[in-house]
Chains A and B, each alone.
Chain A
Amino acid sequence: MNETSNVLETRQKYRSWMNSAMGTGIVGGAALLIAAALLERDVLVFLGVAVYWAGMVGYLVIKRRSPVRTRDEREARISQEASELTLNVLAALLIFSAPAITVLETTGVYEVSRFVWGMVTMLVVVAMVVGVANWHVERRRS
């Protein structure tokens, strides 16, 4: 067996483990939450959340421990472009919604709900995280 076949097989094996960990976390967590509702046992709610978290942590640990990249370069590029597209949509939402709701609120034309303010605040936080991440990556690449 040559080296590249090993890379593909290892990638497939680790991805399978990652997906199993995530699947177990989601299905196990959901099952325990349903059981908690049916049996009215609070302990099952905590257990459900713990199983869900364990699945997500397991996914990340397996990904981290993989000796090969778990996605090939085209898959990584697809993910990168999808992220950029998502950020552009969020940026457009922030740019247009923040001044609009501020004007509506201050003029009293419309009372903006706390939910909408929460959404806009979250968009601001995302923009700040993007700025810090950009600075961090630029430092690593310079």
Chain B
Amino acid sequence: MNNDLPERRDERRMSQADLAAAVGVSRQTINAIERDRYDPSLDLAFDLAEEFGCRIEDIFEPSEDADG
């Protein structure tokens, strides 16, 4: 899934480690999500949306090569 987490982090001057600590995962997990190497669970997607005060679909959108 494509996402704009790096831009949202930059706006808030947050590092990957800051965001990871805020949502309770490792920094590597945030890095993998930003690089589209890992799709977060629904729980984590909700936590990320809550952290940025928006909806999940504001952050994530399906990749063009996604199934369905």
A residues whose Cβ falls under 8 Å from a Cβ of B: 2-5, 7-8, 72-75, 77
Pair B29/A72 contact, Cβ less than 8 Å: yes
With A3-B24, A72-B25 known, 15 other A-B pairs at CB within 8 A are: A2-B22, A4-B22, A7-B24, A8-B24, A72-B24, A72-B26, A72-B29, A73-B25, A73-B40, A73-B44, A74-B26, A74-B28, A74-B32, A75-B26, A75-B29
* CB-defined contacts of B40 to chain A, threshold 8 Å: 73
CA distance A75 to B32 in the complex (A): 11
Pair B22/A73 contact, Cβ less than 8 Å: no
Shortest distance from the beta carbon of A85 to any chain B beta carbon, whole Å? 16
* CB-defined contacts of A73 to chain B, threshold 8 Å: 25, 29, 40-41, 43-44
B residues whose Cβ falls under 8 Å from a Cβ of A: 20-26, 28-29, 32, 38, 40-41, 43-44
CA distance A75 to B27 in the complex (A): 12
Q: Is the interface of A mostly helix, strand, loop or mixed?
A: helix
Closest to B39 in A: A77
A-B contact pairs, 24 of them (CB 8 A): A2-B22, A3-B24, A4-B21, A4-B22, A4-B24, A5-B21, A7-B24, A8-B20, A8-B21, A8-B24, A72-B25, A72-B26, A72-B29, A73-B25, A73-B29, A73-B40, A73-B41, A74-B28, A74-B29, A74-B32, A74-B38, A75-B26, A75-B29, A77-B38
Q: A72-B29, A73-B29, A74-B28 are in contact. Are A4 and B41 (CB under 8 A)?
A: no
